[in-house]
Amino acid sequence: MDFFRVKTTEEMTDIIDQHVESIALTGTVPTDKASGRVLAMDVTATEDVPGFSRSTVDGYAVQAQDTHGASETMPAFLHYAGAVEMGKTPNQALTADQAVYVPTGAMLPEGADAVVMIEDIEKNDDLVQVLKPVRHHENVIVRGEDTEKGALVLEKGTVLRPQESGALAALGISRIEAVKRPVIGYLSSGDEIVPYSRETLSEGEIRDVNGVTIPALIQEWGCEVRIAPIAKDDRADFQEKAEALFEDCDMVVMSGGSSVGVKDYTTDVITSLGDKEPGLLVHGVSVKPGKPTILSVSSKKPILGLPGHPASAMVIFHMFGKQIIDRLMGKKRVDRHTTVARVSQNIPSSPGRTDYIRVTLHTGTPYPDAEPVLGKSGLISTLIKSDGLLEIPERKEGVLKGDLVKVHYFI
């Protein structure tokens, strides 16, 4: 089959955004186990955080106006009116010309609007000398300053990091509604491909590298993975294993059999799965490495056919597989882990395709230096030495030493 639906990288990205939908299934997750999950609901604050005005330092609660003009040579004199205990409500209000001791985190007494740090105080019996003035609300977090009751705290589609989980904990939210973890099926194919655990290889056999690297990325990106036994170059065997994955998984990824060849059944099998709507969307991407890439969506399930070369497969899966998975997970925004770097040497490129060059990043000012990792595109060892992929857009004929370029981090 000809590459009759070759797309640019921009077109591929747009097609994924248009045709890959979030998984509808959700479930409740304990807040302390929610890091990395995607919110399936908006979270609104049901209370103020903090629920009371409190001190951020060890010091003395005061009315700020009583300290104006204070200095070491001309201190402000206030009356000591007691102390606040941690976790307790102050038993009296503070009035003008008074000071109350408060430890860090303690509740401010009513009437106080600032705290003087203890190092700016000299205390003699019931007399408090303020050596430095404070402003209104200085060294204080007021009630609701962090989050006000009724405010939108987190939007649906937010990926929860430890800090978001902490915000939920502060609100007393013990469980959240999260998008179900996608289950991604993976299938390697080829008569020459054997399990990676095979100790001794016969002539012409190759260990299944993609069957390790691609599932590892799937798990690293927050999904469950199911790996089918390697399919031989036999249509019936390939069909049976692909159908089993398609029935049980939210997405299917296949490696090998995506180029033009007598025994390449990948496209035929892909187009036979599910309800075939919208069906085959991409058969070839104008990118190096990784042109023989296939994308189909059927029964709302994406099917991605990767090149067989391990390096090419990883590049394509980083550039497009991550985007598909982010869409399945319902992320509010797709992660684009990129940086700007300065290229260390001239790199030629052919216009009409996007080139991804493996690079090592070195410390530089104000931009890191991107040094190409030399080696043929099919070599997995070049990925080990690389920090990311330098992108040369399809409209350019290469980049010159010193040019600023976009680099996609390996994540």
Distance CA 150, CA 43 (A): 10
Across 327-346, b (16+ Cβ under 10 Å) vs e yields bbbbbeeeeeeeeebbbbee
The pair of structure tokens assigned to 358 is 């493996």
Selected from 2.170.190.11, 3.90.1150.10, 2.60.120.260, 1.10.10.10, the CATH number assigned to the domain covering 54-141 reads 2.170.190.11
Assigned fold of 338-409: Beta-clip (2.40.340)
CB 135 within 8 A of CB 68: no
* CATH no., domain 26-44+154-179: 3.90.105.10
Side-chain half-sphere exposure of 355, counting CA atoms within 13 A: 18
CB within 8 A of 173, min separation 6: which ones? 31, 43
Chain segment 240-275, per-residue pLDDT in tens: 999 999 999 999 999 986 555 545 678 889 999 999
Domain positions in the chain: 9-25+181-328, 26-44+154-179, 54-141, 338-409
For each of the chain's 411 residues, which pLDDT tens digit applies?
444 568 998 999 999 999 999 998 899 999 999 999 999 999 999 999 999 999 999 999 999 999 999 999 999 999 999 999 999 999 889 999 999 999 999 999 999 999 999 999 999 999 999 999 999 999 999 999 999 999 999 999 999 999 999 999 999 999 999 999 999 999 999 889 999 999 999 998 999 999 999 999 999 999 999 999 999 888 899 999 999 999 999 999 999 865 555 456 788 899 999 998 899 999 999 988 878 899 999 999 999 999 988 888 998 999 999 999 999 999 876 666 889 999 999 999 888 889 999 999 999 889 999 999 987 766 778 888 899 999 999 888 899 999 999 999 887
Q: What is the pTM of this model?
A: 0.79
Residue type, 159: V
CB 146 within 8 A of CB 50: yes
Q: 352, 296, 275, 333: which is closest to 15 by C-alpha?
A: 296
Assigned fold of 9-25+181-328: Molybdenum Cofactor Biosythetic Enzyme; Chain A (3.40.980)
